Each structure stands twice: as C-alpha cells, then as structure tokens.
C-alpha cells in the first residue's frame, strides 16, 4: 500500500505538466498569420458583367484586362488627337480599382515624344475610365479589396 501511495504521489508530481496548458495569445496568432499571408495575391479577380460566365482565374483575368484595354482604346480612337509627328508607343497605364469598384488612373509611363505630342493623354484615359461599365472589385479572404494594375496599350497616331 505504501508503494502505491508513493507511486500515486510521484505520478501527481510529474503529471502536473499535463494539466498546464499553454495559452495562445490572439496577438501571436494574428502575427503568425500575417507572416504567411500573401499580400500580392487575390482570391477573385475584379470583373465586369460580361466576364461572369468564365470560370478559370486566368480567363477572368484576361477578360477583365481585355475589356478594360478595349474600352480605353475605343474611347481614345473616338477622340480627335492632332499630332505634328507620328506617335508609335506602347504606354504602360497604371490603374487603381477601389474596393467599391471605382477605377482611377494613377499614372502613365510613356515616351517623351508621346507626352509632347499628346499632352492630354492622361485626361483622355481618365475620362474613359469614368465611362466604364460597373466593375465588381477583387476579393481576398471574403473581403472586397483595392487592386492596382499595369496594362500595356499601343498608341499609334499619324
């Protein structure tokens, strides 16, 4: 009996660690989650209504970008642009899509000759963005998020 009492006593001493549970701090959990979080990736690409029937992420991305470029190109072709020299440039258009689906031009990277010959290019592109059909914003982890795009567009004016 004495041996049984000693055994139970020893068991209690060493098993106390079993009952000591490590508490997890919510701040530590969030910090750890942020380390693994990919801020540059989105779950669902921004979209237009005409892209709704597509299923693959790549197809949705291409549909969105093609619709955007086609719309801007169409609006630019409808504008009267007068130049003194031929302009043949691939400009890089930086566009911000807000988490509410509002597009905004954030910049255009272009050659100096393009900037000189078509100084109103920024305002023409900005105005064309105002006439876009409704944009459904990108989704990340169930939340609508802001996104930035850099789209190449060929500008040719004779």
Per-residue pLDDT reduced to its tens digit, 19-46: 555 566 676 666 666 566 555 677 788 9
pLDDT at 37: 56
Q: What are the CA-CA distances from residue 138 to residues 43, 46, 144 (Å)?
A: 7, 4, 6
- Residue carrying structure tokens 């597009």: 103
- What's the pLDDT at 35? 62
pLDDT at 41: 72
| Alpha-carbon span 121 to 90, nearest angstrom | 13
pLDDT of residue 98: 95
Q: Which residues of the chain have pLDDT under 50?
A: none
What is the rounded distance in angstroms from the CA atom of residue 154 to the CA atom of residue 118?
14
Q: Which of 66, 63, 60, 79 is nearest to 128 (CA)?
A: 79
Are residues 60 and 47 in contact, defined by beta-carbon separation less than 8 angstroms?
yes
Q: Are 117 and 88 a contacting pair, CB within 8 Å?
A: no
Distance CA 104, CA 127 (A): 10
Q: What pLDDT does residue 39 have?
A: 58
Give the whole-angstrom CA distance, residue 42 versus residue 31: 20
C-alpha separations of 99 from 106, 138, 140, 143, 146 in Å: 15, 7, 10, 9, 5
The pair of structure tokens assigned to 86 is: 């031929």
């Amino acid at each position: 009996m004495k041996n049984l009492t000693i055994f139970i006593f020893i068991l209690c001493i060493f098993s106390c660690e079993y009952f000591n549970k490590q508490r997890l701090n919510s701040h530590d959990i969030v910090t750890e989650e942020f380390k693994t979080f990919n801020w540059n990736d989105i779950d669902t690409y921004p979209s237009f209504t005409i892209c709704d029937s597509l299923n693959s992420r790549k197809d949705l991305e291409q549909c969105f970008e093609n619709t955007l470029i086609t719309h801007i190109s169409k609006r630019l072709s409808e504008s009267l642009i007068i130049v003194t020299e031929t302009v043949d440039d691939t400009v890089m258009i930086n566009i911000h899509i807000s988490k509410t689906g509002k597009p905004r031009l954030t910049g255009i990277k272009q050659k100096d000759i393009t900037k000189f010959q078509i100084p109103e290019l920024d305002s023409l592109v900005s105005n064309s963005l105002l006439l876009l059909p409704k944009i459904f914003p990108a989704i990340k982890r169930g939340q609508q998020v802001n996104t930035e795009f850099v789209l190449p567009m060929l500008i040719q004016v004779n």
